[in-house]
Amino acid sequence: MVSRTIPVDLFDLVVFGGTGDLARRKILPALFKRFCSGQMADGARLIGASRRDWSDADYREFVRKSLSEFAGELALDRSLVETFCRCVHYVSVDANGPRGWDELSGLMVADRVRAFYFSVDPGLFSGLSMRLQDHELMNEQSRVVVEKPFGHDLETAQALNAELAQHFDESQIYRIDHYLGKETVQNLMAVRFGNMLFEPLWNAQYIDHIQITVAETVGVDGRGEYYESAGAMRDMVQNHLMQLLCLIAMEPPTFFDPDAVRDEKLKVIRALSNVEPHHIVRGQYTAADGATSYREDVDNPRSRTESFIALKCHLNNWRWAGTPFYLRTGKRMSERDSEITVVFKETPHAIFGQEAGRHNNELTIQLQPDEGITLGVTIKDPGPGGMRLVDVPLDMSFAEALGPSADSPDAYERLIMDVIRGDQTLFMRNDEVEAAWAWTDPIIRGWQARGDAPKPYDSYSAGPDDATMMIRRDGREWRGVIN
Ligand code: NAP
């Protein structure tokens, strides 16, 4: 099977913060890979923009280093790298002052898509937006891309949305959640809405519960200052896990159209019930196996910020009434593992007798480290030993099933190309972001009011025991490699 590369329209991508960490690790390699795939039209340009006084040549050198570090084998082809570098330019611009804006204006050409990527601290969004407008850099083909964190709570998210709305139409704003750019996440929609098999069973009548786990082995790794003010709830649950929950639980949209999809996701967030305090476990990693503790990493011996969270929630709607959703995310966990498990109910009657055991079908959607979908089915244990049952996986590793075309693009590759194409389906809308904060805020306020401290857990473990106990009280177990 061969994947098709559909070239996008001619564009200029201006990356504010083009010398930053995100640009270096994600944006530049992503664009280079799309260039190598033939998706960038001749003449398309990447324009790095930040305060430092660099020339095009300085920036091209920065790009070369970034590619050699983060673009894999493709970057070994020097002629490809050099051809790409000819599309790269740099302008020294201050988001908060007049420097560089006339020069940037002068660089722009008409009749092509203009994408302005705000890969900077959100405190700079206002200055950038104002100056883009003042210098008449926005036209009908212009769009802006904004990175997370999108607000710290509902109030700040509303303020940020209002600020952007003063300068841009909502149809021009692309709020990135890179989880939505993952191939499997989109496959979730394809599997649900492209097959007759699952949708009739996709409800509280047939599904016992759903688990979403996003576990990382890394700690806060140099992001201590930001993380300490955010914690796992703001950093992961409010956005990434919420988006996964939306895709797994939403109603089929009428069309695969940005607003139709986002309308359905919004309904899911609005249907979320309040979470009871005893249905949330917060944790904080401690030193173990030679690793430092969270408190050491953020240099705050009294920190009460959570690096782990597990919670149970419900959706107040017809489809899901009574089906719990268990969400779990943490740093310094025993494995890197992101997966969604849909656990179906047992058959209503066990015709094979008690010895055969009771079995649940499980559909596992693996997001990382490997992307794939597995359906656990129950079959007869082979051999003459009577009718014993055994669960086996119907495994669809994308890499094996799809061959070379399964070498799926990184989330940033897909999302940046969607920006150029003007497709907002995989980007969060203002009301979605605000609804997610409206659900998250009272939970955070609740534990702040109670003075809850996170439970300690060993680095490289499964998280606090309380998280295991929380799900066991319901007669269930965490699925996946972390349990
Ligand atoms: P960073 O490494 O600190 O880079 C910040 C960039 O902003 C630099 O290029 C800096 O260059 C530029 N900058 C600072 N002040 C400026 C000003 N007044 N005018 C113009 N440019 C200015 O930050 P980052 O890690 O790349 O993160 C960028 C954004 O993406 C943040 O909002 C972050 O939360 C978000 N994000 C980052 C990651 C990640 O993996 N790094 C992941 C998700 C989201 P100069 O100093 O030369 O101006």
CA dist 395 and 79 (Å) reads 40
3-class state of residue 254 by DSSP: coil
pLDDT value at residue 407: 58
The whole-number average pLDDT for the span 274-292 is 94
pLDDT for 87 beyond 90? yes
pLDDT digits (tens, 9 = 90+) for 202-249: 999 999 999 999 999 999 988 899 999 999 999 999 999 999 999 999
pLDDT for 260 beyond 80? yes
E strand segments, 169-316: 173-175, 207-215, 280-286, 308-313
Binding residue per annotation — 177? no
pLDDT value at residue 405: 52
Go through the chain and tell me how many residues it has. Answer: 483
Structure tokens at 211: 């688990």
CA dist 469 and 463 (Å) reads 11
pLDDT value at residue 3: 58
At the second CATH level, the architecture of 180-409+429-472 is 2-Layer Sandwich (3.30)
pLDDT value at residue 358: 72
Kindly state the greatest CA–CA separation across the chain. 82
> Which residues are part of the catalytic machinery?
240
> Which of the pair, 185 or 61, is modelled with greater confidence?
61
pLDDT for 167 beyond 80? yes
DSSP 241: I
Contact by Cβ (8 Å): 13, 43: no
CA angle 298, 304, 307 (to 5 degrees): 65
At 440, is the pLDDT very low, low, confident or very high (cuts 50, 70, 90)?
Answer: very high
pLDDT for 51 beyond 80? yes
pLDDT value at residue 350: 82
Domains 11-147 and 180-409+429-472 share a fold: no
pLDDT value at residue 393: 85
Strands 45-50 and 11-16: parallel
pTM of the model: 0.93
pLDDT for 305 beyond 90? yes
pLDDT digits (tens, 9 = 90+) for 351-393: 887 777 777 899 999 888 878 888 998 888 888 877 888 888 8
Structure tokens at 278: 């005893």
Strands 113-118 and 308-313: unpaired
CA angle 338, 340, 344 (to 5 degrees): 155
Binding residue per annotation — 345? no
- What average pLDDT is seen over the chain? 93
**How many angstroms does the Cα of residue 17 sit away from the middle of ligand 1?**
5
Q: What are phi and psi of 212, to 5 degrees?
A: -125, 120
Pocket test for ligand 1, best of 47, 116, 120 (most atoms within 8 A of CB): 120
At 480, is the pLDDT very low, low, confident or very high (cuts 50, 70, 90)?
Answer: confident
Of the candidates 62, 432, 439, the one whose C-alpha atom is nearest the C-alpha of residue 258 is 432
pLDDT value at residue 481: 75
pLDDT value at residue 7: 82
Binding residue per annotation — 18? yes
Domain 11-147 -> CATH class: alpha beta
CA dist 401 and 441 (Å) reads 42
Least confident range of 14-28, 45-59, 62-76, 361-375: 361-375
pLDDT value at residue 164: 96
At 140, is the pLDDT very low, low, confident or very high (cuts 50, 70, 90)?
Answer: confident
Pocket test for ligand 1, best of 25, 121, 410 (most atoms within 8 A of CB): 121
Q: Where are the domains of the chain?
A: 11-147, 180-409+429-472
The whole-number average pLDDT for the span 423-447 is 96
> Is the distance from the beta carbon of residue 119 to the nearest atom of ligand 1 less than 6 Å?
yes
Inter-CA distances, 129 with 123, 124, 136, 142, 173, Å: 11, 9, 11, 12, 11
pLDDT for 125 beyond 70? yes
